[in-house]
Amino acid sequence: MDIIEILQRDYQQFPKEQTFEIYADDVFFKDPLNEFRGVTKYKKMIGFLGRWFQNIQLELHEIQRDNATICTDWTLNMTCPLPWQPRLSISGYSLLEVNEQDLIISHIDYWNDAPLKVLGQVFKFG
């Protein structure tokens, strides 16, 4: 199975049964709220989402590869662990850089909306 097929499967199963072997040990990750290096921290972040949020759905709209760059376009929906259980929806894209061994060395997420606008979804009642 090639890296594109693995990513497609991982998006369908997210956050469960992710294939962390496709990431370099010192992978760089960044999104509007986090920035770190290391596959161990990446695993912890995915584990956090899976433990605290419910009804997680990561819809992959498109995936393209151009040499060492993979671009994914996606929407993440999940229920926040608050008494009123607000539904959070984040759409965006990811740029993944791969090395010669086809391991992901950089994973940067870009959100289509500003973080405050995304987080504002949590406090809408009704």
pLDDT of 118 above 60 = yes
pLDDT of 57 above 50 = yes
Q: Which domain holds residue 86?
A: 3-123
Q: What is the CATH number of the domain that holds 11?
A: 3.10.450.50
How confident is residue 119, by pLDDT bands cut at 50, 70 and 90? confident
pLDDT of residue 126: 47
Of 5 and 119, which is predicted with more confidence? 5
Reported pTM: 0.92
In the 8-state DSSP scheme, what is residue 79? E
Count the domains in the chain.
Answer: 1
How confident is residue 2, by pLDDT bands cut at 50, 70 and 90? very high
Cα separation of 39 and 104, whole Å? 10
Question: What is the tally of helices (H) and strands (E) in the chain?
Answer: 3, 6
